[in-house]
Structure 1
Amino acid sequence: MAPVTDGDTLLLHFTSTRPDGEVFEDTRPGEPVRVTLGAKQINPLFEEALIGREPGETVAVVLPPEKAYGKFRRKLVVTIKRKKLKLDREPVPGEFITVEVLGKPCRVTVLEVDEKSITVDGNHPLAGETITYAITVEAILPRPG
């Protein structure tokens, strides 16, 4: 079979790991992910790494923070006075809540809670981390026509 080329539709399995080796995403328990190269469905660096691969082949792609979930930005960690929040229940550190920022809803992670304020983090939970992806080409699907 011919190797992967731009425009191919692929069935992929992938595993995503943090720098400490913790797996935070793995498609293997389920069906492979269907992706068409060139359709902006996956990170361009993944597409680049897949070109020339054959079914059954696995490629490792290591993304630094700025190419993965972004650098950790300290200014996105803020303390908000409780009276400015419309909370329907007591938030717990570690959970996600939605707060309004400049009139738009933003999903944030609760860091600390006290009687007067709540400290939240607007960074993605994986911001600042180098992420390794192991991507396996399960199949190259026939092109239509």
Structure 2
Amino acid sequence: MAPVQDGDTLLLHFTSTRPDGEIFEDSRSGEPIRVTLGAKQINPLFEEALIGREPGETVTVVLPPEKAYGKFHRKLVVTVKRKKLNLDHEPVPGEFLKLEVMGRPCLVTVVDVDEKSITVDANHPLAGETITYTITVVAILPREG
């Protein structure tokens, strides 16, 4: 079979690892994911790394923060007065809340809680981190038509 080309539909397994080695995503415990190259389903850098690979081959892609989950922005860590939040429970640090930040709804992480205010972080939890992806080509599916 020919190596991976643009437009191929692939079955892939992958792991996503933080700089400290912690694996936070791993498809190997389930079915491989199905991806068509060129269909904007995965990061373009992954597509580029897969071109020319054969089934069974594994490639490692290291993405700096700006190519992965973005840089960490200090301005997205904000303290909000409790009375503005209409919370139905007592939040705890590490919990995710849906809030409006800078006029946009988003999922935030609770950083700190006190009597009058709550500090939240609207950055992606992996913002600012370099992420390593290990991707294995399980199969190249036959082209339809």
The 2-side partners of 1:94 and 1:71 are apart by 20
1:1-145 paired onto structure 2 within 5 Å: 1-145=1-145
The 2-side partners of 1:32 and 1:14 are apart by 8
Q: CA deviation at 1:106?
A: 1.2
Superposition CA RMSD, Å: 0.8
TM-score (norm 1): 0.98
Q: CA deviation at 1:2?
A: 0.6
The 1-side partners of 2:12 and 2:44 are apart by 15
Q: CA deviation at 1:60?
A: 0.1
Q: CA deviation at 1:104?
A: 3.4
The 2-side partners of 1:119 and 1:103 are apart by 17
Q: CA deviation at 1:86?
A: 1.4
Which digits, 9 at most, give the CA deviation of each residue in 1:64-95, with x for residues without a partner? 00000000000000000001101111111001
The 1-side partners of 2:44 and 2:111 are apart by 33
The 2-side partners of 1:61 and 1:109 are apart by 28
TM-score (norm 2): 0.98
Gaps of 5+ in 2: none
Counterpart code for 2:57: E
The 1-side partners of 2:104 and 2:65 are apart by 25
- Asked whether the equivalents of residues 97 and 107 of structure 2 are also in contact (C-alpha less than 8 Å), the reply is yes
Counterpart code for 1:48: E
Counterpart code for 1:112: D
